[in-house]
Amino acid sequence: MSTLATTGTGSAASPKTEQRRSGKNSLSVGRVIAWIFMALVMIVTILPFYWVLRTALSSNAGITSDPTSILPVDFNLRGFARVFGMQSTEEALADGGSGASMNFWIYLRNSVIVSTLVTAGQVFFSAMAAYSFARLRWRGRDAVFTLFLAALMVPSIFTLLPNFVLVKQIGLIDNLLGVALPTMFMTPFAVFFLRQFFMNIPRELEEAALLDGASKVRVFFQLILPMASAPISTLAIITYITAWNDYFWPLLVSYTDSSRVLTVAVAVFRSQAPTSGTDWSGLMAATLVAALPMLLLFMAAAKRIVNSIGFTGIK
Amino acid sequence: MSTATAAAPSALRRKPKDDRLLGIAFIIPAGIGLVAFYIWPLIRGIWLSFTEYNLLTPEQFTGLANYQRMVGDSIFWNAVKVTLEYVLINIGFQTVLALIIAVLMQRLTQSTLVRSIVLTPYLVSNVVVAMLWLWILDNTLGISNEIISAITGENVNFFSSALAIPTIAMINVWRHVGYTALLIFAGLQSIPNTVYEAGKMDGASEWTMFWKITVPLLRPILALVLIMTMIGSFQVFDTVSVTTQGGPVNASRVLQYYIYDMAFGRFQFGYASAMAVGLLIVLAAITILQYRMTRAGETDLD
């Protein structure tokens, strides 16, 4: 019914003016153009990841001789071997490597420790604060909450320099705890995110538990936390990914392998690559290895992450 | 229920002082984080901007010297110019593209798979994204240049002084556009269908409805998204650090990279802090603007 009108007026001007929730499958010109555009967007999104994989599985000689081949040239895993330090220096140099390798397992361990510390601390402490702001009554609460609100607007660049000075003064430079510390207690966002959910839990439930003689601490642990497990795990996933991908702060505070996380390690690996005849195969293997943990996490929790994003922006 | 209330009335009816200790106890950890890593650094950062400080010796108060230096520093002004150029390109492309993608997702498919695919680049770090594009855009072996030279016979140096900033801006558009689109998509979901039905009754075309209904009702969310991406893009660092390191010469030396360089390359924490204060003022102004714009738009929703 509406297909004709749409094709007639709207679609020539723009595909995005398509009929809103129109009949099951009205194949108008506009709809086809729109789908083509969407497909293009998805291809541009996905293809670069494939190209990284294809390069990582090729040899450097193969990349040079056949740069446009869709499939890996001279299929091998030596790029990965180089990243993991499983190749002898001579072999690595012969393959176009710099002789430097990544101590991948150490960086992976560091990334896991830092992200876990940040996530566990931030989510738990933020939940406590959110409960206090949402459900407990105490004088000065609104004023303190306003302070948290204001902190939301402090841009990170501004706190990074003084935070560095602070962490240096308490002797936590080049220490995993120092990498985790600034975001381990809370972020204003995490507090807001959880407060919003806690406020929506029906008060009657809490009051019933209190009538049964439970303390407020017990209500928090045994009622509020379990009831909010969905938003809490969503926040935990988002926090984990953010902590894992962070680069600037770890770059400032970590100097050696003992505290270097994966993002920084990849950047260092890149800066060690020779400027002439870059070891692209090795670099792309490193890139893939660094991206893989978060891509796997995303695959496992895509729906949860995707659906949480509206909340992030609008609330 | 009433018997239970009668059994223990005093302990339950909340008096104001009831929660006080617990309320404060529960915000102590977060409070430590707030004071130590937000409020104290804010004060300290402003203080440091009035000093000369190299981490090793105690800071020396120098008054407005850092700010005077800033005004006369041509590299600083170049950094401002380059950053603005980056912000404009980044935001322009990102917002328009995200709006188109969001509207298409709304109209064509509600599939989570499609939304997940579009979001994928946002899930990997800036460093990974920068490395990936560094390779794809490489001057000699990158696939994009292979294609370009096959067509035009010439190579494009994407990280040359003329193209470095647009290239870095587009790399970050690629990473963030899906996220921005999902924010706008969430906003679209909140526009009631009845508004469109009413529009249709009045004989409005889809094109008219997009401009007369979707865009005005989306204005508060668009304003929010615009300001959020603006604040984010003023702080571009990771991509520059991995790809060009500010070069060639100063062509991509954005503000945040210059601040970093000044503090950790030359240990001039005072001067770096002064520039950070400058950036803070700009970002604060944008934030205030955000509230104005979102408030101004709110009336449209009802």
Contact residues, chain B, for A35 at CB < 8 Å: 108
- Distance (Å) from the alpha carbon of B186 to chain A's nearest alpha carbon: 5
Question: Which among A141, A157, A287 has the least Cβ separation from residue B128?
Answer: A287
Q: How far apart are CA B129 and CA A291, in angstroms?
A: 9
Question: Which among A121, A126, A216 has the least Cβ separation from residue B19?
Answer: A216
Q: What is the pLDDT of residues A249-292, one digit of tens each?
A: 999 999 898 899 999 998 888 887 766 677 888 889 989 988 99
- Which of helix, strand or coil describes residue B62? coil
**How would you class B194 by CB atoms within 10 Å of its CB: exposed for 0-12, middle for 13-18, buried for 19 or more?**
exposed
Q: How far apart are CA A179 and CA A253, in angstroms?
A: 6
Going from the C-alpha of A146 to that of each of A152, A225, B34, B231, the distances in angstroms are: 10, 24, 12, 21
Flag whether pLDDT at B8 surpasses 70: no
- Distance (Å) from the alpha carbon of B196 to chain A's nearest alpha carbon: 8
- Which of helix, strand or coil describes residue A219? helix
Dihedral angle sign, alpha carbons of residues A158, A162, A164, A167: negative
Predicted local distance difference test score (pLDDT) of residue A6 = 32
Q: What backbone phi and psi angles, to 5 degrees, belong to B4?
A: -60, -40
Predicted local distance difference test score (pLDDT) of residue B109 = 82
Residue A284 and residue B135: Cβ atoms within 8 Å?
yes
Flag whether pLDDT at A120 surpasses 90: yes
- Identify how many contiguous H helices and E strands chain A contains and give both numbers: 17, 0
Going from the C-alpha of A151 to that of each of A189, B15, B31, the distances in angstroms are: 9, 31, 11
* pLDDT category of residue A100 using cuts at 50, 70 and 90: low
Within an 8 Å CB–CB cutoff, is residue B187 touching chain A?
Answer: yes
- Distance (Å) from the alpha carbon of A87 to chain B's nearest alpha carbon: 22
Going from the C-alpha of B95 to that of each of A182, B13, B88, B289, the distances in angstroms are: 31, 52, 11, 18
Contact residues, chain B, for A181 at CB < 8 Å: 37
Residue B268 token pair:
């001039």
Residue A218 token pair:
């017990």
Question: Which among A44, A294, A302 has the least Cβ separation from residue B124?
Answer: A294
Q: What is the pLDDT of residues B97-129, one digit of tens each?
A: 999 999 888 888 888 899 999 999 999 999 999
Contact residues, chain A, for B207 at CB < 8 Å: 9-10, 13-14, 17
* pLDDT category of residue A19 using cuts at 50, 70 and 90: very low
CB of B54 closer than 8 Å to CB of B47: no
Going from the C-alpha of A164 to that of each of A251, B14, B55, the distances in angstroms are: 11, 44, 10
**How would you class A96 by CB atoms within 10 Å of its CB: exposed for 0-12, middle for 13-18, buried for 19 or more?**
buried
C-beta neighbour count of A311 within 10 angstroms: 16
Average model confidence (pLDDT) across chain A? 83
Min mean pLDDT across A119-123, A308-312, B19-23, B258-262 is at A308-312
Strand partners for B52: B60
Q: How far apart are CA A149 and CA B83, in angstroms?
A: 28
Flag whether pLDDT at B277 surpasses 80: yes
Residue range B24-34: mean pLDDT, rounded = 94
C-beta neighbour count of B282 within 10 angstroms: 18
Residue range A43-72: mean pLDDT, rounded = 87
Residues, chain B, total?
Answer: 302
Integer-rounded Cα Rg, in Å, for chain A is 26
Q: Inter-axis angle of helices A141-151 and A104-135, to 10 degrees? A: 150
Q: Pick the residue with more confidence: A235 or B296?
A: A235
Contact residues, chain B, for A246 at CB < 8 Å: 125
Q: How far apart are CA A13 and CA A287, in angstroms?
A: 41
Contact residues, chain B, for A128 at CB < 8 Å: 26-27, 29-30
Residue B269 token pair:
């924490």
Pairing of strands B60-61, B51-52: antiparallel
Q: How far apart are CA A271 and CA A275, in angstroms?
A: 9
Predicted local distance difference test score (pLDDT) of residue A23 = 44
Query: Which residue, among B59, B276, B141, B227, has the nearest Cα to A169 in the 3D structure?
Result: B59
CB of A178 closer than 8 Å to CB of A256: no
* pLDDT category of residue B49 using cuts at 50, 70 and 90: very high
- Which of helix, strand or coil describes residue B228? helix
Residue A186 and residue B126: Cβ atoms within 8 Å?
no
Predicted local distance difference test score (pLDDT) of residue A311 = 63
Predicted local distance difference test score (pLDDT) of residue B36 = 93
CB of A232 closer than 8 Å to CB of A127: yes
Residue A153 and residue B287: Cβ atoms within 8 Å?
yes
Residue A247 and residue B127: Cβ atoms within 8 Å?
yes
Query: Which residue, among B78, B123, B139, has the nearest Cα to A309 in the 3D structure?
Result: B123
Question: Which among B20, B119, B228 has the least Cβ separation from residue A306?
Answer: B119
Predicted local distance difference test score (pLDDT) of residue B33 = 95
